[in-house]
């Protein structure tokens, strides 16, 4: 099963990726997490990506496509996967189709803009496992410590208000056409991502069983 997760910044892709991967019995990866991992290792790719991420812009297609296709072509991922946040430009979607033929399901998390800003401004991320929490909507049981692994939570640099505004603008310009691309292929499953985490999970469970 090859599943793509699409949606605006803060729409809940990362929160639900693990659940979807577990249901589909495949691995999941977030392109944003891959960039952040590269940065923590101080690789050339990570340092390049940071210059774009800090401004809320997309990392250029050539390096992004190469990074994600390398992950997909790893023998442990070839039988299936959940991709969170890739593709988000038309050239990325075309490159993925050229590599794979096609994908099985594209899940689009539909969330109004006002909710997105509220979610991103209160988000906390685990330094080790990258789990995503929210100060109010989805707090860790251990305060500022992750309840999935015992590391501290932090606020992402790109969750600051001015960067968030640009991320949403770039998303509208670059990624809306990709949603249409998959709608035309009849692959798109739209989930009401404005509901609670548990309600979204139930909706996803139904969509995956179809």
Would you say 84 or 203 has its CB closer to Mg ion?
84
Beta bridge partners of 138: 134
Beta bridge partners of 172: none
Q: How many residues bind Mg ion (CB under 5 A)?
A: 1
163 Cβ contact list (under 8 Å, min separation 6): 54, 55, 56, 157
Has 66 been annotated as catalytic?
no
Selection from ligand AP5, Mg ion, none that 38 binds (CB < 5 to 8 A by kind) is none
Q: Which residues contact ligand AP5 (rule: CB under 6 A)?
A: 7, 9-15, 30-32, 35, 52-53, 56-59, 64, 85-88, 92, 119, 122-123, 132-134, 137-138, 158, 167, 195-197, 200
Using only the alpha carbons of the chain, give its radius of gyration: 16
10 binds Mg ion (CB under 5 A): no
On whether the CB atoms of residues 109 and 15 are closer than 8 A, the answer is no
Has 156 been annotated as catalytic?
yes
Has 88 been annotated as catalytic?
yes
Measured in degrees and rounded to the nearest 5, phi and psi for residue 142 equal -110, 35
Of these, 7, 10, 14, 87, which contacts Mg ion (CB under 5 A)?
Answer: 14
């Amino acid at each position: 099963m090859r599943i793509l997760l699409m949606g605006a910044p803060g729409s809940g892709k990362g929160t639900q990726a693990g659940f979807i991967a577990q249901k589909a019995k495949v691995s999941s990866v977030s392109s944003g997490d891959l960039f952040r991992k590269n940065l923590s290792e101080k690789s050339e790719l990570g340092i390049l990506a940071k210059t774009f991420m800090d401004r809320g812009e997309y990392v250029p297609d050539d390096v992004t496509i190469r990074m994600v296709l390398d992950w997909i072509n790893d023998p442990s991922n070839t039988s299936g996967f959940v991709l969170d946040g890739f593709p988000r430009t038309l050239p990325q979607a075309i490159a993925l189709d050229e590599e794979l033929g096609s994908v099985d399901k594209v899940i689009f998390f539909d969330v109004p803009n006002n909710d997105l800003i509220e979610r991103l401004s209160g988000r906390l991320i685990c330094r080790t496992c990258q789990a995503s929490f929210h100060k109010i909507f989805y707090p860790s049981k251990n305060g500022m410590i992750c309840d999935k692994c015992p590391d501290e939570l932090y606020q992402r640099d790109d969750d600051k208000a001015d960067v968030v505004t640009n991320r949403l603008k770039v998303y509208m310009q670059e990624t809306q056409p990709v949603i249409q691309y998959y709608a035309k292929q009849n692959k798109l499953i739209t989930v009401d991502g404005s509901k609670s985490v548990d309600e979204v999970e139930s909706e996803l469970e139904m969509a995956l069983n179809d």
